[in-house]
Amino acid sequence: NAGVTQTPKFQVLKTGQSMTLQCAQDMNHNSMYWYRQDPGMGLRLIYYSASEGTTDKGEVPNGYNVSRLNKREFSLRLESAAPSQTSVYFCASTEGPQGYEQYFGPGTRLTVT
């Protein structure tokens, strides 16, 4: 099993450009998450999908959109990138809504200039 995979690993964007971060899991998990990690701030939840067909905002959703394409895939879109979105983005998945371990992907390092 590959676990949670993310593409791309690195990306540089100019302000105003758009892009989509891809995430896929092969563990048949129901719930999937997008986090951003910034120095000294831990991980902050952007959006999550508790089950296929549902998505909800997390702590820092502004400037992002998500799509739960199917049970395996959960994408994060930046419509008009801003320097404040420079960060490391992690996707995670878990078996159930509560009390289960979250499995993390390797991350995408995004720089917006």
Partner 1 sequence: AQSVTQPDIHITVSEGASLELRCNYSYGATPYLFWYVQSPGQGLQLLLKYFSGDTLVQGIKGFEAEFKRSQSSFNLRKPSVHWSDAAEYFCAMDSSYKLIFGSGTRLLVRP
Contacts with partner 1, residue ranges (CB under 8 A) = 4, 31, 33, 40-45, 48, 50, 56, 58, 90, 92, 97-99, 101-107
Q: Which is nearer to partner 1, 80 or 111 (CB)?
A: 111
Q: Which is nearer to partner 1, 1 or 14 (CB)?
A: 1
Closest approach of Cβ 112 to partner 1, in Å? 20
- Radius of gyration of the CA atoms of the chain, in A: 13
